[in-house]
Amino acid sequence: MHRYKAQAATVLLTALAPASWGTTYAITTRLLPPGHPLFAGLMRALPAGLLALAITRVLPRGPWWWKTAVLGLLNIGPMPLLFVAAERLPGGVAATLGAAQPLLAAGLGLAVLHDRPTARRLAWGVLGVIGVGLVVLGPGARLDAVGVLAGLGHTATMAAGVVLTKRWGRPPGVGPLALTGWQLTVGGLLLLPLTLVTEGVPQRIDAGAAGGYLWLGSMGGLIAYTLWFRGIGRLPVAASAPLVLLSPLVATVIGIAQGESLSPLQTLGFALALTALVAAQLGPAGRKTTGTEKEKRPDDERDEGNEGDAGDGGGEGVDGRDGAAHDHRRARGHRDGRWPGGHRGERARTPRAGVVPEAGE
């Protein structure tokens, strides 16, 4: 029961990230100077990344230099594409393009992580995209080709970033804040020369724009990405990726608060998307973790620094286990005599205190 409560808390904290990203569209169109998507991405990434480095005082080591460069390029580098989509498309339309991320992440997860999503979760992912589409896509939706390509490009790179973040996890002793700082700094340094050469600094930054940049860099940047990378390390891809549906839903709620109204069809779509989001988190329960397995791998709740340092992105949720690997471990346990049914003539060992027997034994 404690593990399920911990996973629910992880889901709620991780959900704060895409929920905060849903405010990006309103802030971009109402507060930020137009025509400066690179500068907006730079202000969201580099100051927050340098602040995280100053707080943690931890730098990458060994192969984590190039891994950080790749993750920063995928997760942070394409950030200006999001602002391009927000400027050239209605907020809801731009957010809808991001709703396709769960399906892209599922496909990449199958190829990279060999994580086969269930038909149930794929169905909920498709229904979630349909629901978001019903909310924000209507006869009056203005579609701009550049904006659509920018939104899809940002969605695709974020999906790849989610999968590789899950695949590589984190190095031992490194927390999510340090990992976030590395990536934000790398992404910001990549954007810095491009911004100075192509856009420059906006001629006028008023108080509203300064507040918008501050929000994007703090809650929408450092805090959101720290929670996001922490959640990716602890949750299966099939559970974390659908959380991005919160982004267009939050954008819709902001529109309603500003006086917009939903038609009956849009209301149906909103309810469908919200149902798909919740249902994606309610996967079938997995088996309990045994005491032996707790000794062999770091526990997320006990050791924050070691979370996710396994090569395949350890710290996966209870429903993210591979059945074939479990069967192999069980067969090995039988051969060693640790579980009943060992080699003939060998007496099965009594489990030590704290070891939870397998279900059905």
5-29 pLDDT, tens per residue?
A: 887 888 899 999 989 988 988 898 8
Highest mean pLDDT among 25-29, 107-111, 321-325: 25-29
Identify the pLDDT of residue 179.
Answer: 94
From 7, 283, 232, select the one nearest 105 (Cα to Cα).
Answer: 232
Q: What is the rounded average pLDDT of the residues 338-346?
A: 45
pLDDT surpasses 70 at 329 = no
Q: What angle do CA 333, 337, 338 make, to 5 degrees?
A: 60
Q: Among 191-195, 213-217, 269-273, 278-282, which is the least confidently predicted range?
A: 278-282
Q: How many CA atoms lie within 13 A of 215 on its CB side?
A: 17
Highest mean pLDDT among 31-45, 149-163, 239-253: 31-45
Distance CA(299)–CA(317), nearest Å, equals 11
What percent of the chain shows pLDDT beyond 70?
A: 64
CB atoms within 10 A of CB 267: 13
Identify the pLDDT of residue 354.
Answer: 42
Q: What is the rounded average pLDDT of the residues 267-292?
A: 62
Q: Give residue 250's pLDDT band: very low, low, confident or very high (50, 70, 90).
A: confident
Give the CA dihedral 293, 327, 113, 224, nearest 10 degrees.
-40
**pLDDT, averaged across the chain:** 74
- Helix (H) or strand (E) run with residue 348 in it: none
Higher pLDDT, 26 or 140: 26
Q: Among 11-20, 32-41, 117-126, 138-147, which is the least confidently predicted range?
A: 138-147
pLDDT surpasses 80 at 194 = yes
Q: What is the rounded average pLDDT of the residues 78-85?
A: 80
Q: Give residue 356's pLDDT band: very low, low, confident or very high (50, 70, 90).
A: very low
Higher pLDDT, 318 or 114: 114
On whether the CB atoms of residues 307 and 170 are closer than 8 A, the answer is yes
Alpha-helical regions (H) of 169-322: 176-198, 207-217, 224-234, 237-240, 246-257, 264-279, 291-296
Highest mean pLDDT among 77-81, 225-229, 258-262: 225-229
Higher pLDDT, 286 or 38: 38
Residue 264 identity (one-letter amino acid): P
Q: What is the rounded average pLDDT of the residues 207-229?
A: 93
Q: What is the rounded average pLDDT of the residues 298-316?
A: 40
Q: Can you give the pTM of this predicted structure? A: 0.68
Identify the pLDDT of residue 139.
Answer: 53
